[in-house]
Structure 1
Amino acid sequence: MKTDSKYLLNDDIPSLLKQIALPASTGMFFNTMYNVVDIFYAGQISTQAISALSLSFMIFFMVTGLGYGFSAAITALIGNASGRSKKFLASLYAHKGILFMQLLALVLTAIGLLLAPFMLKVLGASDDYLQLGLDYINVILAGTIFFMTNYAFNAILVSKGDTKSYRNTLIVGFFANLILNPLFLYGFGPIPAMGIAGLAFATVVIQFMNSIYMLYKVLQTKLVHFNNLKYFYPNKKIYKDLLVQGFPSSSNIMIMSFGSMLLIYFVSLYGVKAVAGFGIGMRVEQLMLLPALGLSSAVLTLVSNNFGAKKYDRVKLILDKGLKYGFIISTFGIVFLYIFGKLIISQFDDDLAVINYGLEYTLVAVWIFYAYVTLFLCVSTLQGIKRPKMIFYIALYRQIVAKFIIAYAIVVIFNLDYIYLWIGVLVMIYSAAIFAYFYTKKLLTAYTI
Structure 2
Amino acid sequence: MKDLSQGSIPKHLITMATPMMIGMFIQTLYFIVDLYFVGKLGAAALAGLSLAGNAMFLIFALTQILNVSTASLIAHAVGAKQHHEANDIFNQSMMLSSVIGVVVCILGYLSAETYLSNISQDPETIAMGLTYLHWFIPCMALQFVMVSISAALRGTGIVKPTMIIQTLSILLNIVLSPILIEGFGTGYAMGIAGAGLASSLSVIFAVILLCYYFKVAEKYIYIDFSLWRIDLPRIKKLLVIGLPAGGEFFLMFIYMGSIYWLIQPFGADAQAGFGLGSRIMQSLFLPAMAIAFAAPAIAGQNFGAKNYARVKETFTWTAIMTCSFMTLITLACLAQPELMLQGFTDNNNVLLTSTVFLQIICFNFIPSGLAFTCSGMFQALGNTVPALISTAVRLTTFIIPAIWLSQQAQFTIEQLWYVSVATVCIQAAVSLYLLKREFKKRLSTQPQENLDTLPTKEVMKSPPL
The TM tier, using the shorter chain, reads over 0.9
CA distance 1:284–1:64, change in 2 (3 Å) = closer
| Residue 66 (structure 1) shift | 1.1
| Residue 85 (structure 1) shift | 0.8
| Residue 56 (structure 1) shift | 0.2
Residue number among 261, 264, 272 corresponding to 1:265 in the alignment: 261
Residue number among 87, 93, 97 corresponding to 1:97 in the alignment: 93
CA distance 1:142–1:155, change in 2 (3 Å) = same
Residue number among 107, 120, 125 corresponding to 1:124 in the alignment: 120
Q: Does 1:171 align with 2:172?
A: no
| Residue 393 (structure 1) shift | 2.1
Check the 8 A contact 1:84/1:309 in 2, yes or no. Answer: yes
Residue number among 89, 104, 110 corresponding to 1:108 in the alignment: 104
Question: C-alpha distance in 1, partners of 2:379/2:310?
Answer: 16
| Residue 343 (structure 1) shift | 2.2
Check the 8 A contact 1:304/1:385 in 2, yes or no. Answer: yes
Provide, for residues 125-169 of structure 1, a one-character-per-residue CA deviation record: whole Å limited to 9, x for no partner. Answer: 443221111111122223333211111111011112222222223
What residue number does 2:405 align with? 410
Check the 8 A contact 2:131/2:192 in 1, yes or no. Answer: yes
What code does the residue aligned with 1:423 have? Y
Provide the secondary structure at the position in 2 that maps to 1:413: coil
Identical columns (%):
22
Residue number among 348, 354, 365 corresponding to 1:358 in the alignment: 354
What residue number does 1:428 align with? 423
Check the 8 A contact 1:64/1:148 in 2, yes or no. Answer: no
CA distance 1:188–1:418, change in 2 (3 Å) = closer
| Residue 77 (structure 1) shift | 0.7
Residue number among 362, 365, 368 corresponding to 1:369 in the alignment: 365
Unaligned runs of 5+ in 2: 446-465
What code does the residue aligned with 2:406 have? V
* Residues matched between the structures, number: 443
What code does the residue aligned with 1:351 have? N
Unaligned runs of 5+ in 1: none
What residue number does 1:81 align with? 77
| Residue 248 (structure 1) shift | 0.6
* Range that drifts further, 430-439 or 407-416: 407-416
Residue number among 208, 218, 221 corresponding to 1:221 in the alignment: 218
Check the 8 A contact 1:60/1:140 in 2, yes or no. Answer: no
Check the 8 A contact 1:58/1:257 in 2, yes or no. Answer: yes
Check the 8 A contact 2:75/2:297 in 1, yes or no. Answer: yes
What code does the residue aligned with 1:434 have? A
User: Which 4+ runs in 1 deviate beyond 4 A?
Assistant: 188-192
Residue number among 11, 24, 33 corresponding to 1:37 in the alignment: 33
What code does the residue aligned with 2:422 have? V
| Residue 53 (structure 1) shift | 0.5
What residue number does 2:136 align with? 140
Question: C-alpha distance in 2, partners of 1:265/1:257?
Answer: 12
| Residue 213 (structure 1) shift | 2.0
Provide the secondary structure at the position in 2 that maps to 1:143: helix
Q: Does 1:181 align with 2:150?
A: no
Question: C-alpha distance in 1, partners of 2:338/2:300?
Answer: 40
| Residue 189 (structure 1) shift | 7.0
| Residue 102 (structure 1) shift | 1.3
Provide, for residues 30-75 of structure 1, a one-character-per-residue CA deviation record: whole Å limited to 9, x for no partner. Answer: 2223311100111121111000001001113213431023211100
Provide the secondary structure at the position in 1 that maps to 2:81: coil
* Range that drifts further, 159-168 or 47-56: 159-168
Provide the secondary structure at the position in 1 that maps to 2:38: helix
Check the 8 A contact 2:120/2:260 in 1, yes or no. Answer: no
Question: C-alpha distance in 1, partners of 2:387/2:339?
Answer: 36
Question: C-alpha distance in 1, partners of 2:20/2:187?
Answer: 34
CA distance 1:69–1:269, change in 2 (3 Å) = farther
CA distance 1:241–1:448, change in 2 (3 Å) = same
What residue number does 1:282 align with? 278
Provide the secondary structure at the position in 2 that maps to 1:10: coil
Provide, for residues 316-352 of structure 1, a one-character-per-residue CA deviation record: whole Å limited to 9, x for no partner. Answer: 1101110001111111111222233112213211222
Provide the secondary structure at the position in 1 that maps to 2:346: coil
Provide, for residues 216-256 of structure 1, a one-character-per-residue CA deviation record: whole Å limited to 9, x for no partner. Answer: 33343324435x42122332222111111111111111111
Provide, for residues 252-282 of structure 1, a one-character-per-residue CA deviation record: whole Å limited to 9, x for no partner. Answer: 1111111110111112232211111111111
CA RMSD of aligned residues (A): 1.8
Question: C-alpha distance in 2, partners of 1:258/1:327?
Answer: 26
Residue number among 296, 310, 324 corresponding to 1:328 in the alignment: 324
Check the 8 A contact 2:40/2:344 in 1, yes or no. Answer: no
Please give the residue correspondences for 1:17-28 in structure 2 after superposition, counting only pairs within 5 Å: 17-28=13-24
Provide the secondary structure at the position in 1 that maps to 2:157: coil
Provide the secondary structure at the position in 1 that maps to 2:277: helix
Check the 8 A contact 2:64/2:242 in 1, yes or no. Answer: no
